[in-house]
Amino acid sequence: MTNQMIIFTASVQLMEQGILQGSGHKVTVQGADGEIELEAPEAIHTYQRWKELGYQVRKGEKAITSLRIWKHTAKQNKDNPTDREEKMFMKNAAFFKASQVDKIA
């Protein structure tokens, strides 16, 4: 499962629990009984991703959820600098919603 699928699935569950609100946008997903149209949940991102988007998570805000997502690393091989060692592993990441962040001036 990709990170996008992991985050979307968790977001739908959080919306069903009332933690997230809907975005107002409809999406079509493949369900067990065929295609299903549902409202997409509001966006959630990690602290780092919000920062990349130009937002700062407010001091004291607690993550709305923690998810295990894929992390990619690459580093140079010590013995052969032209070779890069790459690996993927699962890592816990904290996620925040838009109401927890402010635009960086």
pLDDT string in tens for the chain (105-residue length) = 899 999 999 999 999 999 999 989 998 988 788 898 989 999 999 999 999 999 999 999 999 999 999 999 988 878 887 888 889 999 999 999 999 999 997
Residue environment code for 70-81, b if the CB has 16+ CB neighbours within 10 A, otherwise e: eeeeeeeeeeee
What integer pLDDT is reported at residue 85 of this predicted model? Answer: 85
What integer pLDDT is reported at residue 68 of this predicted model? Answer: 97
Residue ranges covered by each domain of the chain: 3-103
pTM value?
0.82
Strand partners, 94: 66
Q: Which tokens hold the place of 79?
A: 């013995």
Strand partners, 71: 89
What integer pLDDT is reported at residue 71 of this predicted model? Answer: 94
